[in-house]
With several copies, the nearest count.
Chain A
Amino acid sequence: MALPLPEETLLEMYWTMLLSRRLDERAWALHRQGKIAFHISAIGHEAAQVGAAYAIRRGYDWVAPYYRDLTLMLALGYTPREFMLNLMGKKGDPSSGGRQMPSHWSLKRANVISHSAPVATQTSHAAGIGLAIKLRGEDKVVITSVGEGSTSQGEWYEGVNWAAVHKLPVVFIIVNNLYAISVRQELQMAVANAADKALGLGLPGVSVDGMDFLTMYQVMKEAVDRARSGDGPTIVEARVYRITPHSSDDDDRSYRSREEVEQFKQRDPLLIARRTLEGEGVLTPQKHEALEQRAKELVDEAVRFGESAPYPDPEEAAYPVYAEDVQNA
C-alpha cells in the first residue's frame, strides 16, 4: 500500500489518537474517583476524527464539532491541560470558562466555533460559515460533525439543504456508532446507510469505515478538496462504534449485549492503526512504548495542573450576557 501521507504525519496522527485514548480513559477514572462530575467519551471514534482533522488545513479551515470530538480537538491544538480544566470546570477552560458541561467545545484560536447540547444546531452554523466564505470569495472550508441519531433532526436537514442548494464549501460528517444513547439506527432512519440521506438532498454521500484512520483520511481529503475547489458540499458517514456507555450518566447494559461490545472491540481503531503502521514499518513496538510513556506523563501532568487550578469566581457567572460585557478580550 502506498502511504498517502509522510511517515512523520502518520506518526503524529497515531500519537493524537493515542493521547486522546489515554486522556479519555483517565477521564473515566477521574469520574469513578468522584473527581469530575461528567464525562462523554470518544473511545472508538478516534480514527474517524483524526482522519477528518488531517484532511483540512488546521487553523485555517473552520470546524463545527460535536461533543465526541476530543481527538479532533487535540489534532487542532487543544491541549491536555485545557481538557482537564474543561472536565473539572476550572478557570481558564477555553471552551466556556466553566459555563458549559465538559466536551462542549469552542476554541477560537483554531477556528472551532462554540456548540451547544441541543444536537445538530451546529449544522446550519456550518452552512452559514460556508456561505460567508463563499460570499467573500475565500478558499476556506468548514467541516462539521453530528451523530447518526442527530440526523433525525430537522435542524440537520435544513442546514445540509442550504449547503447543497448554494454549493457551499462544507463537509458534513455523520458519525454513525449505531446508537443514539439507547436507540438503534433502525428506529432513527429507514435508509441502510446514513450517507444515503445525501441522495435526497442532492449532494454526494460516502459511507466509510471510520475505524480505519487512513480510509477516513482519504475520503475526507477528497470531500475537502471538492469543497475547496468550489464544487460544493459532501456528506461523509464514518461507521464507528462507541465502545463506552453514552456518557458517565449512562448504563448501556439495558440496551446492548456485552457480546456486541466485545465484538467491536476487536476493531478498536487504535489497534487497526497500530497494525497498519507497524506493517508499514512506520511504527515499532519501541516507538509505541515511547509514545505511551509520553502520553502517560502528559496526562499525569495535565491532571495535576487541573487539580491545582482555581475554580472560577462565583461572580464570573454574571457575565458576559452581551458582547458589551466581555471581559476576557
Chain B
Amino acid sequence: MPEATLIEAIRQAMDEELARDERVFIVGEDVGKRGGVFRATQGLYEKYGPQRVIDAPLAELSIVGVGIGAALYGMRPICEIQFADFIHPAFNQIVNEAAKMCYRSNGEWTVPLVIRAPYGGGIGGGLYHSQSVEAFFTHVPGLKVVIPSNPADAKGLLKAAVRDPNPVLYFEPKKGYRLIKGEIPAGEYLVPLGKANVSRPGRDLTLITYGMTHYYALKAAQIVATEGIETEIIDLRTLLPIDKETLLQSVKKTGKVLIAHEDNLTGGYGAEIAAILADQAFTDLDAPIKRLAGPDVPAVPFSHPMQDWFMPNAEKIAAAIRQLAAF
C-alpha cells in the first residue's frame, strides 16, 4: 500500500471518479490551470480538459446553483468552494435548494452533488481563511456532511460522496493536507457514508471527534496512555446522518465522554452529540459530558499568539482527558 498525503488522496479520488463516470465534472474558482489554490485538482484540467474541470466566475452561490441545475439534469458535479469561509454566500442554495429538493418534490427531483471545501485554522489564515462551518449544515435534514481525518478515509469517503444520490458537503482539514499521511488500500476503495470509526480502542473514556481535531486527539491519547489512561477514540467521519449506534456502544463501555472539535463551543456540532448521549446514554454515564471546543469568539485570529490561544492541540486535549478520567 503506497503512502499518500491527505490532499493526494483527495486528488486521486476525483481523478478516479472523473475517469469512471463521464457525468462527473469539477467546478470552482481556480480549479483549472491553477489546479486549485491548494493544488487539490492539479493535473486534472490537463487530463480532462476545460469541459470537465471548469473555472467558475468568482461567485459561490452560482457555483452551487449551477451545480444543482446540472445535477437535476443528470450530471454529477463536484463543486469546490475555495475556503469554507466563503460558503456563506451559497447558504441559500445549499439549505433552501439542495437540501430541500428531494423532499419538496416528493422525490421526483434529487440532487447528486458534492461540495468540497477546505476548513479549519492553525495555518495563519485569520478570521476568513480558518473557519469551521459544519454546524451550520449538520442542522439541515437533506444534507450529508462528511469530514475525513486521514488519507484512506479521505479517498474512500469522497468516492462514496460522488456516488451518493444526495447533496454531500465534504469538508477537508486543510492544515492536514500535507501534514497527515497514511496508506491507502490499492484498487477501488470506498468508505460508506454514515459509519463512524473506532480509531483507537480504550476502556476509560470515549473521545468523540473528527477531522483535524482527530489528529490531535490521537496524539493526546498517546500522551495519556503513558500515564495509564486508556482513551477510546471515535472518528465520526460522517457527521450527518449520525452513527448513533457506535457512540452508544462505546459509552456503554466507558461511561465517560469527551467531545472535541475546533469549531466554537456554543451551538457547535458537539452540542448535538452531547444532547443525544444525555438522553439515550443517561444511565450509562458516570461523569458529566465534557466538550473541548474552540472558544466563543467570531473566528480564529491571525497573529500567532492569538491563533495558538484559539486552536485545540494535543496538550489541551490531554489535559481534558486527565480531568475527566479523574472524575
* Chains A and B touch each other in the complex, with CB atoms below 8 Å apart: yes
Q: What residues of chain A have their CB less than 8 Å away from a CB belonging to chain B?
A: 37-38, 62, 64, 89-90, 93-102, 104, 106, 108, 113-114, 116-119, 121, 123-133, 135, 149-150, 152-155, 158-159, 161-162, 165, 180-183, 187-189, 249-250, 254-255, 311-329
Least CB separation from B51: chain A residue: A135
- Smallest distance from the beta carbon of B110 to chain A beta carbons, Å? 4
Least CB separation from B164: chain A residue: A323
Question: Are A135 and B75 CB-contacts (below 8 A) given A152-B58, A327-B107?
Answer: yes
Residues of B near A127 (CB, < 8 A) are: 62, 65-66, 69
Is B301's beta carbon under 8 Å from chain A?
A: yes
6 closest cross-chain pairs (CB), A and B: A128-B69, A124-B65, A98-B303, A89-B303, A326-B107, A117-B128
Contact: A118 with B105, CB < 8 Å? no
Within 8 A of A (CB), among B109-131: 109-110, 112, 124-129
Tally of A-B Cβ pairs under 8 angstroms:
261
Is B243's beta carbon under 8 Å from chain A?
A: no
Chain B interface residue count, Cβ-Cβ cutoff 8 angstroms: 74
Is B25's beta carbon under 8 Å from chain A?
A: yes
Contact: A183 with B106, CB < 8 Å? no
Is B85's beta carbon under 8 Å from chain A?
A: yes
Complex Cα spacing A116 to B166, Å? 18
Least CB separation from A120: chain B residue: B58
Comparing B94-102, B146-154, B218-226, B267-275, the segment that makes contact with chain A is B94-102
Question: Are A322 and B57 CB-contacts (below 8 A) given A99-B302, A183-B29, A313-B305?
Answer: no
- Smallest distance from the beta carbon of A96 to chain B beta carbons, Å? 5
Within 8 A of A (CB), among B272-311: 295-298, 301-310
Least CB separation from A117: chain B residue: B128
Residues of B near A150 (CB, < 8 A) are: 58
Question: Are A128 and B108 CB-contacts (below 8 A) given A38-B124, A155-B61?
Answer: no
Residues of B near A131 (CB, < 8 A) are: 66, 69-70
Is B68's beta carbon under 8 Å from chain A?
A: yes
Residues of A near B86 (CB, < 8 A) are: 117-118
Within 8 A of A (CB), among B124-147: 124-129, 141-142, 144
- Smallest distance from the beta carbon of B127 to chain A beta carbons, Å? 6
Comparing B33-41, B181-189, B231-239, B252-260, the segment that makes contact with chain A is B33-41
Complex Cα spacing A29 to B280, Å? 52
Complex Cα spacing A154 to B62, Å? 9
Contact: A116 with B100, CB < 8 Å? yes
Complex Cα spacing A243 to B64, Å? 32
